Structure 1
Amino acid sequence: MTNRREFMTLAGGVALSSFLPLGPAWAAGNAIKVGYNVATLANPFFQGMTKGVVDAAKQFPQMTLLNTNANGDANTQSTMVVDLINQGVDALILNPINANSIVPVVERAHKKNIPVFTLDRGAACGDCQNNFLETDNVAMGREGAQFVIETLKKRYGTVKGNVVDLVGLIGTTAGDDRDKGFMDVFNKAAAENPGLKLIARQEGKFDQETSFNLMSQIMAANPQIDAVFNGNDDNAVGAVRAIRQASRAVPMTDPKHIVVIGIDGTRQALAAIRKGDMDATLSQNPLAMAAQSVKYVDAFFNGDKASIPAHQFWPHILITKDNIDSDTVKTYGLWGEQV
Structure 2
Amino acid sequence: MKKLLGALATTTVLATTAAWADDIKIGLSVDQLFESRVAVNDGIKAEAAARGFEIVEVVADGDAQQQNAQIQSLITQEVDAILVCAVDQNTIERALMAAKKANIPVVAYDRDLPDSRVVQAFVGPDSIWDGRLAGEYTAKALADVDGEITIVELIGALNDQNGIDRSKGFREGISSLQNVTILEVPTDWDSARALAGTQNAFQANPDIDAVFAATDTHIPGVETVLADLGKIVPVGEPGHVVVTGVNGSNDGYQAVVKGVADGFVVMGTEATGRKAVELVADILDGKTVERINVIPGDFYTTETAEANKATIWGAK
Number of the residue aligned with 2:152 = 164
- Whether the 8 Å contact between 1:118 and 1:132 is mirrored in structure 2 is yes
Q: For 1:114, what is the secondary structure of its paired residue?
A: coil
Distance in 2 (CA, whole Å) between partners of 1:159 and 1:286 is 39
By relative contact order (CA 8 Å, sep 6+), the higher-ranking structure is: 1
What is the CA distance between 1:250 and its match in structure 2? 2.1
Q: 1:36 aligns with which of 5, 17, 28?
A: 28
Number of the residue aligned with 2:49 = 58
Number of the residue aligned with 2:4 = none
1:48 aligns with 2:55: no
- In structure 2, do the counterparts of structure 1 residues 26 and 146 end up closer, same or farther at CA, with 3 Å as the change threshold? farther
Number of the residue aligned with 1:18 = none
Number of the residue aligned with 1:305 = 287
Question: Which whole-Å deviations, capped at 9, do the CAs of 1:235-276 have from their partners, x for residues lacking one?
Answer: 333322332244322222322121111101111111111111
Q: What is the one-letter code of the residue matched to 1:202?
A: V
Number of the residue aligned with 1:289 = 272
Number of the residue aligned with 2:299 = 318
Q: TM-score, normalised by structure 1?
A: 0.81
What is the CA distance between 1:184 and its match in structure 2? 4.3
Q: Which residues of 2 match residues 266-285 of structure 1 at below 5 A?
A: 266-285=249-268
Distance in 2 (CA, whole Å) between partners of 1:305 and 1:202 is 43
Q: For 1:82, what is the secondary structure of its paired residue?
A: helix
- In structure 2, do the counterparts of structure 1 residues 233 and 26 end up closer, same or farther at CA, with 3 Å as the change threshold? farther
Number of the residue aligned with 1:254 = 237
Question: Which whole-Å deviations, capped at 9, do the CAs of 1:77-115 have from their partners, x for residues lacking one?
Answer: 222112211221111011112222111112221222111
Q: TM-score, normalised by structure 2?
A: 0.87
Q: Which runs of 5+ in 1 are unaligned?
A: 1-23
Percentage of pairs with the same residue: 25
Q: What is the one-letter code of the residue matched to 1:129?
A: V
Distance in 1 (CA, whole Å) between partners of 2:35 and 2:193 is 16
Larger Rg: 2
Distance in 1 (CA, whole Å) between partners of 2:233 and 2:286 is 54
Number of the residue aligned with 2:6 = none
- Whether the 8 Å contact between 2:32 and 2:61 is mirrored in structure 1 is yes
User: How many aligned residue pairs are there?
Assistant: 301
Distance in 1 (CA, whole Å) between partners of 2:221 and 2:286 is 44
Distance in 2 (CA, whole Å) between partners of 1:225 and 1:268 is 22
Distance in 1 (CA, whole Å) between partners of 2:236 and 2:215 is 24
Q: Which residues of 2 match residues 35-184 of structure 1 at below 5 A?
A: 35-41=27-33, 43-61=34-52, 63-154=53-144, 156=145, 160-184=148-172
- Whether the 8 Å contact between 2:32 and 2:60 is mirrored in structure 1 is yes
Q: What is the one-letter code of the residue matched to 2:150?
A: N
What is the CA distance between 1:335 and its match in structure 2? 1.1
- Whether the 8 Å contact between 1:240 and 1:260 is mirrored in structure 2 is no
Q: For 2:128, what is the secondary structure of its paired residue?
A: helix
1:334 aligns with 2:312: yes
Q: What is the one-letter code of the residue matched to 1:252?
A: V
Q: For 1:178, what is the secondary structure of its paired residue?
A: helix
Distance in 1 (CA, whole Å) between partners of 2:86 and 2:216 is 19
- Whether the 8 Å contact between 1:26 and 1:59 is mirrored in structure 2 is no
- In structure 2, do the counterparts of structure 1 residues 247 and 26 end up closer, same or farther at CA, with 3 Å as the change threshold? farther
Q: For 1:220, what is the secondary structure of its paired residue?
A: helix
Distance in 2 (CA, whole Å) between partners of 1:110 and 1:231 is 33
Distance in 2 (CA, whole Å) between partners of 1:25 and 1:255 is 60
Q: What is the one-letter code of the residue matched to 1:267?
A: N
Q: For 2:51, what is the secondary structure of its paired residue?
A: coil
What is the CA distance between 1:167 and its match in structure 2? 0.3
Q: Which deviates the most, 202-211 or 240-249?
A: 240-249
Q: What is the one-letter code of the residue matched to 2:269?
A: P
Distance in 1 (CA, whole Å) between partners of 2:130 and 2:157 is 15
- Whether the 8 Å contact between 1:216 and 1:246 is mirrored in structure 2 is no
- Whether the 8 Å contact between 1:265 and 1:284 is mirrored in structure 2 is yes
Q: What is the one-letter code of the residue matched to 2:313?
A: W
Distance in 2 (CA, whole Å) between partners of 1:249 and 1:284 is 26
What is the CA distance between 1:153 and its match in structure 2? 1.3
Q: Which runs of 5+ in 2 are unaligned?
A: 1-15
Number of the residue aligned with 1:197 = 181
Q: For 1:133, what is the secondary structure of its paired residue?
A: strand
Distance in 2 (CA, whole Å) between partners of 1:247 and 1:134 is 38
